[in-house]
Amino acid sequence: MTMEQQDPPAVLIDQASKWYGQVIGINDLSLAIDGGVTGVLGPNGAGKSTLFKLMMGRIRPSQGSVRLFGVDPWKNTSPYRRVGYVSESEKLYEWMTALDFVTTLARLHGMTREEATERSAHVLEFVGLTDVMHKELGKFSKGMRQRVKIAHALVHNPDLLILDEPLHGCDPLARTSIMSVIRELGKQGKTILISSHILEEIERITEQIVILHNGRLLAIGNLHAIRGLLDKHPHRILINCEDPRSLANLFVTEEPVFGVRFPGEGQLEIQTNDLSAAHAVLPSIVVSSNQKITSIENPDDNLDSLLGYLIKEGS
Amino acid sequence: MPEEQVDLEGEVTRMDAAFGSGDGDEEATAVVAKSQASLGQIFEQTYRPWDGELGPRWMRNYAIFRHHVYGVFTSKGHRQYHPMVRLLILIIFLASLTPIPMLFLSSFIGDEGGFFEKMWGINRYNLWGQVLGYFPRNLCMWPLLTAVVVGGMISDDRQHGTSAIYFSRPISRLDYTSMKYLSVAIILGFVIIFSYFAYYTSAIVFKAEGWAYLADTLPLFLRGMLAGSILVITYTSIGLALSSISQSRFFAAIGFLSIIYGTKLVSLLIELQFGTTFMYAMSPYDCLAHTGQFLLGIPSNYEHPVSISVVSLMAMNSVSIWLLVSRVTSLEVTRE
């Protein structure tokens, strides 16, 4: 019998910690990520940027280990042939044009001049900067600079893309196009780590998330699965209807429902520990109530509230 | 505005300039918004993966090297050197070539064995002086050249966090450091060694010297070139070490000048006070000058043995390179 040799995961972090003097950046963090798009979430100071800097070999872990494709990036830079990185606020060479800048960085990956120029022009076109690629970076707006950073991260077609707040400062059109690219790259089997403060954007890109708080890993996995694991916080279903009290009468007799509330006029809030079971009985009750329902929402089943619950629990 | 100039169907609307004074502005026109707002265009953005092979290590290193060296000539796509820095490099380079017109003048007026020949002709003293003479070269030219070139070489990256541009690519810290080192050494070498080479070559050309002259003077020339190379290496090592420990190009430049001039001054004062040249062993310039005098076989200005100067130079270079390498290898890019 032969053992099949498995490729190491794109990112493997084993009990890594990073202290800046008395301040803890990352605290005993372990995770493995390989393939697809993963959102890295957490409030300011949660350790998202520190995590990315550890991965990019910019800082050394005080304890534990970090591996990219099985290699320690602090000691060996070879994994960076396969990694593209957009940092939160990287300084650019202000005097260079966008094309010169991306070409220079492409050449740092070992491309020939022709390859670098051709490839740089393509990625700049891709991020919608063809018109201004001969302009100096010093004259670029914040959103344009973000797009230049994304272009230079993509120029060598990396297998792992680490994006620290990549949409920060981008206009809605640029956000949409960049998000669709990220989804597409994820579908192509690339591993993408993306952090953002705008949770809706992460939700639109991926359901696979990592949640950090105070440098600790609070949760990892599918957004809805994590929400399902939070037993202490019941799921809520908010129904806007004509007569909430009569509708509540019908719901309280059902097994999965353990409480009801009337948060506002014409509103009924159902509390349950089993969201799918509640949704299973919901259509028949609505039909039997014989009243007009204007909306049904799950206010808890989003990233925002999940993050809120987890951070409260974490602290 | 005449009605025929208003294009209500779309296209460009034309109007008179709002602030026309009437004295020649009648022809002025301004383009205002196109009225075809109903039209639109969607740009299809497609990402085409690249399936080429990334080049080897030397290609990446060459990219770093050329970025720094070509920047002296043009900042388009390369490292930016301040125009005043470029001007200073040019002035120093031209000043270092001044013996060449003197040699030309000497051959032009047929000054065989005369004043010009003695002052600028090829001999041990002049070859030494072209690289290691104190005034003006080692007082006004080489230290200043090193200070402006080396000042921001690493400190700029530390100050702005641009070292991250290199460290998030397959470039090791050793490659980063060695390419920075090589870039500085090449720029200094271009001015110091190339001017020395041009001086020697022009002497041969202007005087139409033959093989016998070449056989006589070439060993001296090569020894002088060795002394010049040691100077370039020593100044690069000290300068880059200072650049690696600072976050300001000013500190690195001033620190370098202080070391070169300060040690020289202190050694001179000690010599004047106590009559010993021993303390010159701590002055980089004097160690280089002493070693150069030994290499070119000219009488030494120093009482202490040349071995002390050689050991001191080795120690200075070792400490500087150790500081540089240890600083860069442990550099954490926390500033962005």
In chain B, residues with a C-beta closer than 8 Å to the C-beta of A107 are 59-60, 63
Q: What percent of chain B has pLDDT over 70?
A: 85
Residues 6+ apart with CB under 8 A from B29: B14, B15, B16, B17
Please give the DSSP secondary-structure letter assigned to residue B208: T
Work out the burial of residue A113: count CB atoms within 10 Å of its CB; fewer than 13 is exposed, 13-18 middle, 19 or more buried.
exposed
Q: What is the mean pLDDT of chain B?
A: 86
Report which residue type is found at B181. Answer: Y
Interface of B with A (CB under 8 A): 43, 45-52, 54-57, 59-60, 63-64, 67, 75-78, 80, 160-162, 164-172, 332-334, 336
Q: Could you identify the residue written with the tokens 């707040």?
A: A165
Whole-number pLDDT of residue A98 = 95
A214 sits in the region (left: phi over 0; alpha: psi -120 to 50; else beta) called left
Whole-number pLDDT of residue B72 = 92
Express each pLDDT in A48-69 by its tens digit.
Answer: 889 999 998 888 899 999 999 9
Element (H, E) at B243: helix B211-244
Q: B308 vs B131, B258, B288, CA distance in Å?
A: 21, 22, 11
Provide the whole-model pTM: 0.81
Whole-number pLDDT of residue A313 = 63
For B10-36, b where at least 16 C-beta lie within 10 A, e where not — what string? eeebeeeeeeeeeeeeeeeeeeeeeee
Cβ separation of A181 and B47 shorter than 8 Å? yes
List, in sequence order, the alpha helices (H) in chain A.
48-55, 98-108, 113-126, 142-154, 172-187, 199-205, 223-229, 244-251, 275-289, 303-314
Would you state the structure tokens that stand for residue B143, as one six-digit string? 């230290």
How far apart are the C-alpha atoms of B116 and B14, rounded to whole Å? 74
Q: Could you identify the residue written with the tokens 């690219």?
A: A181
For residue A41, give the 3-state DSSP assignment: strand
Element (H, E) at B256: helix B249-274
By C-alpha distance, the chain A residue nearest B163 is: A58
> pLDDT per position in chain A (315 positions), as tens?
445 567 889 999 999 999 988 888 999 999 899 988 999 988 888 888 899 999 988 888 999 999 999 999 988 888 999 999 998 767 888 889 999 999 999 999 999 999 999 999 999 998 888 999 999 999 998 888 888 998 999 999 999 999 988 888 777 877 887 788 788 788 878 899 999 777 777 888 888 888 888 888 888 888 878 877 776 677 888 899 988 999 999 888 888 888 899 998 889 998 888 877 888 888 888 888 888 888 888 877 677 777 777 777 655
In chain A, residues with a C-beta closer than 8 Å to the C-beta of B46 are 126
List, in sequence order, the alpha helices (H) in B135-172.
142-150, 155-160, 163-167
Report which residue type is found at A224. Answer: H
Radius of gyration of chain B (CA): 29
How far apart are the C-alpha atoms of B61 and B59, rounded to whole Å? 5
- Nearest CA to A179 among A194, A160, A197, A164? A194
Whole-number pLDDT of residue A185 = 80
**A80 half-sphere exposure, CB direction, 13 A CA radius:** 31
Mean pLDDT of B215-240: 96
In chain B, residues with a C-beta closer than 8 Å to the C-beta of A53 are 333-334
Would you state the structure tokens that stand for residue B64, as one six-digit string? 């770093």
Where is average pLDDT lowest: A103-117, A300-314, B30-44, B108-122?
B30-44
- Tell me phi and psi for residue B252, to 5 degrees: -65, -45
By C-alpha distance, the chain A residue nearest B161 is: A91
Do strands A235-241 and A208-213 pair parallel, antiparallel, or not at all (unpaired)? unpaired
For residue B302, give the 3-state DSSP assignment: coil
Where is average pLDDT lowest: B117-121, B137-141, B199-203, B241-245?
B117-121
Express each pLDDT in B253-295 by its tens digit.
Answer: 999 999 999 999 999 999 999 999 999 999 999 999 999 999 9
Please give the DSSP secondary-structure letter assigned to residue B82: P
For residue B13, give the 3-state DSSP assignment: coil
Per DSSP (E only), the strands in B28-81 are 29-31
Nearest beta carbon to residue A89 from set B51, B54, B336: B336
Whole-number pLDDT of residue A189 = 82
How far apart are the C-alpha atoms of B324 and B331, rounded to whole Å? 10
Please give the DSSP secondary-structure letter assigned to residue B136: I
Under a CB-based contact definition with an 8 Å cutoff, are residues A52 and A162 in contact? yes
Q: A129 vs A73, A97, B59, B267, CA distance in Å?
A: 31, 11, 27, 59
* pLDDT(B32) > 70: no
Q: B260 vs B119, B140, B283, B288, CA distance in Å?
A: 27, 11, 7, 11
DSSP A46-59: SSHHHHHHHHTTSS
* pLDDT(B7) > 90: no
Domain boundaries, chain B: 60-329
* pLDDT(B34) > 50: no
By C-alpha distance, the chain A residue nearest B166 is: A108
Would you state the structure tokens that stand for residue A29, as one six-digit string? 């963090």
**A307 half-sphere exposure, CB direction, 13 A CA radius:** 22
Neighbours of A23 (CB within 10 A): 10
B273 or B110: which carries more pLDDT confidence? B273
Cis preceding linkage at A244, omega within 30: no
Would you state the structure tokens that stand for residue A213, as one six-digit string? 């708080």
Q: What is the ipTM of this complex?
A: 0.77
In chain B, residues with a C-beta closer than 8 Å to the C-beta of A180 are 45
Could you tell me the pLDDT band of residue B107, with boundaries at 50, 70 and 90?
confident
Under a CB-based contact definition with an 8 Å cutoff, are residues B110 and B69 in contact? no
Nearest beta carbon to residue A57 from set B51, B160, B167: B167
Whole-number pLDDT of residue B299 = 95
Mean pLDDT of B177-187: 96
By C-alpha distance, the chain B residue nearest A87 is: B336
Whole-number pLDDT of residue B16 = 36
- Tell me phi and psi for residue B250, to 5 degrees: -65, -45
Cβ separation of B336 and A91 shorter than 8 Å? yes
Q: A35 vs A8, A77, A187, A188, A189, CA distance in Å?
A: 12, 21, 9, 9, 5
Whole-number pLDDT of residue A5 = 61
Nearest beta carbon to residue A80 from set B80, B169, B336: B169
Q: What percent of chain B has pLDDT over 90?
A: 66
How far apart are the C-alpha atoms of B178 and B68, rounded to whole Å? 12
Whole-number pLDDT of residue B13 = 39
